[in-house]
Chain A
C-alpha cells in the first residue's frame, strides 16, 4: 500500500496533528494560508512576509450542517470556523460529528482519507475534529 499523499500540501503538512502553513508579517499580523502578494494589515510584501507553521488547535467559533450544496461535494456535511490558538480563524470541513457543535468546543486538526488520485495513490485531506483526551488541553 502506497503512502497516502496530501491533497493540498501547500496548506498543511503530514504531522500528527498536521500543522497549517500560515504566514507572518514583520508588522506582527499572522495569517492563513501563506501568500506572497502582501499583508492585509499593513501592505508589506517581499521579505516582510515569512512562512509560519500554525498549530491546528483552537476553539470552535461556529458550525453548521450543510443540507443543500450545488458543488461536487455531496451534502450533508458539517463545516466550522475555528479560532486557532495561534491567531487566525480558519473555516473548513469538520469530521467526527454529523451535527453542529457548541461554540467554544476544543478542536484539533486531523487528516482523513479522500478520493484516491487517478493512479490509485491514496490521498488524505485536512479536517478539524472535536478534541479528545490529551488533545483537550
Chain B
C-alpha cells in the first residue's frame, strides 16, 4: 500500500539559513554552503553531529560537492546524497528529506542547496531526436510565448503582466538575502533591456549564486534536542509530479501545477482559501499569473484584477512571493526551492520583519523545473 506524508509521522522544519543570493563572484561554493548550513544549525539551536543525513541540491556545480564542503563542519560520517532536478532541485531534496524523517528512518535531516553559475547543457538536446529550432527557444522565449498566449486569453496588456515584477521587486527590496534589493516602478521595468517578446530584463529571474539550508526533525528529534516546539513548522503535504500528455500541450506548466497543487491540497485537507503565503516559481512574470490561477488562488483569467487590487501583496488576502520570488530574490537553481521553504517558515513563525504577512498560519511552496517536473509543499504553524 502506498502512503503519503499524512499517513506517516509528523515532520517539522526546525532551522533555516541562507547565504545571500548574489551575482557570480570569486566566493567558493564551500563558503556559500557553509554559511547557510551554520545559520540553519544556529537557528535550530542544534549541533552538527545531530544531523543524520544531508541532501545536497545542486544543478550547476561539478560532481559531488557535498562532502568537500560539509567535512568542514566536522566529518561525522553522515550520509550525503546529491539531488538534481533542474530548477526544482532544492524542492526535490526537501521532499526526500521530509520522507526520510516521516518514514522513521531518521530523526534529524539537513536539506540544502548550493550553486554557482555555469554553462548549462540540457539533456533534452542530446536525446538523439532532432528538432526544428529548439535552440532558438530559450526558457525566456518559451515563457514569452506563454505571456503572448496569456495576454490574448485573459485580455491582459504587457504592462498588466509586468505588474508582477513591480510587486516582487518591492518585496525583494525588504529581503536582505535577495539578489535584487531595489523597488522598481512600472516605467523602470518596462524601460529595461528587451529580452524576448514582452519581457524586459527586470521581468526575468537573475541566475546567480548562493545557498539555502533547512533542518527537518521528527517529534522525537525535537524532544531529544530540546528544540522550542513553538518555532517548529510542520510540513503537512509533499507532492512531486512530472508532465503528462495534455490536451493543450502548450500549457503544460500550468496544467502540471494545477494537478500537483490539487494533490497537495487533498493530502493536507486544505484548500487554496486556507493559504496565507505562497512562494511560487516566477522565473518570468507571466508564470505568477498562470500559477495563482492554476492553484485556484483566484479564478481563471482573474489574476491581473486580483493583483491590481492588492490581493497578492504582503498584507493582502494571500502574500505571493513575499521573499521577492525568483524575479527579485533570485534563482541560483540548487538553493531556490530550499530558500522558498525558509521564507515560508519565517512567515509562519512571525519572524519575517518588514515582509511579514499578518497572521500567517499556512503557506505553500511551488517549483517547476525543466522536464517538466513540479513540486508542491504545504507548511503550517502549530495552533
Contacts and interface: CB of A to CB of B under 8 A. Distances in A.
- Contact residue range for chain A? 35 or more
A65 interface: yes
A48 interface: no
Contacts of A67: 194-196
A24 interface: no
Nearest to B145: A62
A66 B137 CA distance: 9
Interface string A1-35: 00000001011000000000000000001000101
Contacts of A10: 130
A46 interface: no
A65 B197 contact: yes
Contact of B136 (A8, A35, A62, A77): A77
Contact of A103 (B130, B149, B193, B196): B149
Contacts of B183: none
Nearest to A66: B196
B245 A11 contact: no
A62 B149 contact: yes
A29 B245 contact: yes
B123 interface: no
Contacts of A35: 129
Contacts of B127: 37
A64 to B, nearest CB: 3
Given A62-B250, A100-B148, A103-B149, A79 B193 contact: no
- Contact residue range for chain B? 20 to 34
B26 interface: no
A89 interface: yes
Nearest to B132: A92
B121 interface: no
A79 B141 contact: yes
A71 interface: yes
A97 to B, nearest CB: 13
A126 B249 contact: no
Nearest to B146: A62
B136 A73 contact: yes
B230 to A, nearest CB: 48
B152 interface: yes
B241 to A, nearest CB: 16
A49 interface: no
Given A68-B194, A69-B138, A103-B152, A90 B129 contact: no
A25 B146 CA distance: 28
B136 A103 contact: no
Interface string A54-82: 00000001111111111111000101110
Nearest to B200: A67
A8 B195 contact: no
Contacts of B136: 66, 69, 71, 73, 77, 79, 92-93
B141 A64 contact: yes
Nearest to A20: B132
A18 to B, nearest CB: 11
B148 A62 contact: yes
Nearest to A90: B132
Interface string B193-207: 111111000000000
B245 A102 contact: no
B144 interface: yes
B7 interface: no
B134 interface: yes
A53 interface: no
Interface string B24-43: 00000000000000000000
B135 interface: yes
Contacts of B134: 91
B252 to A, nearest CB: 10
A88 interface: yes
Interface in B114-129: 127, 129
Contacts of A70: 138
A103 to B, nearest CB: 5
Contact of B196 (A64, A89, A90): A64
- Which 6 A-B residue pairings sit nearest by Cβ, starting from the closest? A64-B197, A64-B144, A92-B132, A62-B145, A67-B194, A62-B149
19 contacts: A8-B130, A8-B132, A33-B130, A35-B129, A41-B245, A61-B149, A62-B149, A63-B145, A64-B141, A64-B148, A64-B197, A65-B197, A68-B194, A68-B196, A69-B138, A79-B136, A79-B137, A83-B250, A93-B132
Interface of B: 127, 129-138, 141, 144-149, 152, 193-198, 245, 249-250
